[in-house]
Chains A and B, each alone.
Chain A
Amino acid sequence: MCEVDEENSGCLQSRSVPGVCKMCVKCKENTAVLIIRVGDAFCRSCFKEYFVHKFRAMLGKNRVIFPGEKVLLTVSGGAASSSMLAQVQEGLGRDAPKKLRFIPAIIYIDEGGVCGQDPEEREETVAQLETIFRKTGFPYHIISLEQVFSLPSSVLEPVPGGARQPGGDYKAAVDQYIQQSKLKQKRGEASVEEAQDSLTHLNIYSPPSPEHTQTLQRLFSTLKTLTAKEDLLQTLRQHLILHTARTHGYSKVMMGDSCTRLAIKLLTNISLGRGASLAADTGFSDSRYGDVVVVRPMRDYSSKEITFYNRLFGVESVFTPSLDTKAPDKASIQRLTESFIIKLQADFPSTVSTIYRTSEKLHTASSPQNSSAEPSAKCLLCLCAADTKAEEASAFQATLLSERLSVGKAQSDPAHSNPASSNPASSNPAGSCCQEQGCGAGGCCSTSRIPAPTDLKTLLCYSCRLTIKDLITVEALPHYITSEAEKRQRRAQMKEEIGEFLLDEDEDAE
């Protein structure tokens, strides 16, 4: 194998030595300032035109965002999301020929508590971002990650998907909007109203209490690997964004994932066992939350394009350290995948676009039953359809079995005697030892209020199970997660108890 690879590498050296000072391929007049793809060199003004057009084309083509809709822009301060903010601002500008017509607001999640920033640094970062946000004139929400501890468990409750489908509907909505705005303009109140609106919605940042920061840090310190930490951070961040979007009535959330980032995410998620939800995780629009749809308008830009745009046209961004700052390449799956793809990209410039095109072809096979499926069929943490109802002869069951066998040798397996467990995962001995611990502390399993890790696991998809498995104790998890888990378990239990008296749903429909 190795020999073959070495032979091939000679002829696969696809990158040629670059020519010096090319002309722009588009206008053929000015000197090019950057190479976007192999051989495509653009000058400054052509690049700007191309970049701005691509953003609007992305939104126009997909017809997901309706005019007048409230949209929440998630800005981390990094290059891609700052660039997205700048594009939205540009698109809403009055002189823009194809004006964007939605109502934007900004959200920033301050993760400094887990990423090793001290309170002063966090305040400084927030202050920097606030100046950027204020310049846009959009209302903004600045939320610290510590607020996960005050989230209600309703965040995790699945909401049936909106029935509104893009298509014919879209045109009607646009027409309606144009008429309405004409009426408003006649009365001359539109601009005043908007301005007032943005002022009243300002959400002032209040520094989190040190106790909450400590609880949060404890939670992350109970995770053994950086992979799991990054995964949990993303989950919690997502819940906060979702909650803010719901409470303030934003029906769309825009994320700034670039095409490079999505290519990395795609391969990372496959490695993390999230294959079943790839389409939702990397697609243009993600409707897993039902009432709030996540869109990724930056997915056509490579990180190089974004960085160049920001640099050439003065888009400000703020550096915030993340969990993997200064980490070595092999610190986490996420990090390793990133360095793998970026290194490959350096020698083979079409790597990212190839992976990205693959992600475009993925679709969730969402049958109508799926959207109205019972709550327990969705993963508690990532809210994707749980992939654990796999049939007997699946790779998933095989993994569970081999795990059970390899752990089973070491200890006896009392969970097998548990008649209530219908899911094979709950008879997993790794969890049963925790149940025993619970018995020791609380007296009896059935009276214990906090679900043991096994119980939590049955509510999760395969990948989230792996993350939670890494957690030493589930007690450190925020309350809204444990309470919703408890609720779902009680419901499942009740359903089982009254199961024989229930009419079959299919019969009911007929």
Chain B
Amino acid sequence: IRVHCGRGVFRGGGSQTSCDSFEFHRGEPSWDMKQLLAWIRVNLLKERPELFVQGDTVRPGILVLINDADWELMGELEYQLQDQDNVVFISTLHGG
């Protein structure tokens, strides 16, 4: 499957070092959001990951949109990524 991840206005603090958007490919079985976040944390956040992820989930104040819809409607961490999904992270915090 192919998933597109990107960030809207978010230059979120430490994760500025990572690329603005990326695509990744993965065969079956598909990942859920929890695995995706863990993967981002390990592979993309070089500086101060706590500004993006806290515990299993994203830092409070960062919105997650899956195909332009609130991830709270999609089951949040349990959401199973599907082919051509578009995941966007937007920070609402002061200073981005």
Contact = CB atoms under 8 A, between A and B. Distances in A.
Is the A/B pair a real complex?
yes
Contact of A345 (B60, B70, B96): B60
A59 B93 CA distance: 26
Interface residues of A, number: 40
B69 A326 contact: no
A22 B69 CA distance: 11
B60 A346 contact: yes
A307 B90 contact: yes
A308 B70 contact: yes
A204 interface: no
Interface string B58-91: 0011010100111011111000000000001010
B69 A34 contact: yes
A35 B72 contact: yes
A311 B68 contact: yes
A24 to B, nearest CB: 11
Interface string A14-40: 000011111000000001111100000
B70 A35 contact: yes
A433 to B, nearest CB: 36
Contacts of A22: 73
A79 B93 CA distance: 10
Contacts of B8: 307, 311
B49 interface: no
A321 B76 contact: no
B41 interface: no
Given A311-B8, A312-B68, A317-B9, A338 B94 contact: yes
A264, A303, A323, A335: most-surrounded residue (chain B CB, <10 A) = A303
B74 A307 contact: no
A319 B48 CA distance: 20
Contacts of A312: 68
Contacts of B93: 338, 342
Given A18-B75, A307-B63, A342-B60, A321 B69 contact: no
Interface of B: 8-9, 11, 13-14, 16, 48, 51, 60-61, 63, 65, 68-70, 72-76, 88, 90, 92-96
29 contacts: A18-B73, A18-B76, A20-B73, A20-B75, A33-B69, A34-B70, A35-B73, A79-B92, A303-B92, A304-B63, A307-B9, A307-B92, A308-B65, A311-B8, A311-B65, A311-B68, A311-B88, A311-B90, A319-B9, A319-B11, A322-B96, A324-B95, A325-B95, A326-B95, A338-B61, A338-B93, A338-B94, A342-B60, A346-B60
